Chains A and B, each alone.
Chain A
């Protein structure tokens, strides 16, 4: 089945040690998004790619970066994780901007713990 896959489901990293979260999709969607969701809060958009065009949210910390080497894969890099970066990280895709007839497709998320 076409889907969005995030690996790993759980990631533990040390304070200050770079970590990479991955997302892949078999939907061939143009747009890929990374959201951060802290406990009991709304998901917050970090950035998104429209094809190869990168769009960073104004309040996304510089500590967070992203790469999209091809249509199928997108990575979230956290250069120096702090305790405040512990959260669920959600990857989502959509066919194109605003084409939401079927909504956005989310992965199951990666829960990041910083120790």
Chain B
């Protein structure tokens, strides 16, 4: 069964605006990761947040994690046309304090940033 579900499925904004994507998951996790995928390419790791963390920042990216609600959000501030891509959350499930060592991906959000 799919672990992560993301919303919205698609997001269209103007350059300079902020973009927020949400991810929900079902089981306990070791960590949650966000990836970016340009059309027809592989995935690029953006940021990882561990289960005992609530917020992380990396440049224009801000990720929050609420383990009580089993949800995470990715905020991209001051978006650029070059941010146009698909964004996936992925969970590393917790196997009783350790990790199963594999990622389960959500369906992704397609972000389009118009110049």
Closest residue to A10 on the B side, CB-wise? B40
Contact status of A104 and B101, CB under 8 A, knowing A42-B108, A43-B43, A109-B41? no
- With A45-B103, A94-B101 already in contact, 6 other A-B pairs whose C-beta atoms are closer than 8 Å: A33-B102, A102-B48, A103-B35, A105-B45, A106-B35, A106-B42
Contact status of A42 and B106, CB under 8 A, knowing A104-B33, A107-B42, A108-B42? yes
Chain A binding site: helix, strand, loop or mixed by DSSP? strand
- Is the C-beta of B31 less than 8 angstroms from some C-beta in chain A? yes
Contact B104 A98 (CB under 8 A): no
Interface residues on B, range: 20 to 34
- Residues in B whose Cβ lies below 8 Å from that of A90: 42-43
Contact B101 A97 (CB under 8 A): yes
- Residues in A whose Cβ lies below 8 Å from that of B82: none
Q: Which residues of B approach A to under 8 Å, CB–CB? A: 2, 4, 30-31, 33, 35, 40-48, 88, 92, 98-108
- Residues in B whose Cβ lies below 8 Å from that of A55: 102
Contact B33 A31 (CB under 8 A): no
- Is the C-beta of A73 less than 8 angstroms from some C-beta in chain B? no
- Is the C-beta of A48 less than 8 angstroms from some C-beta in chain B? yes
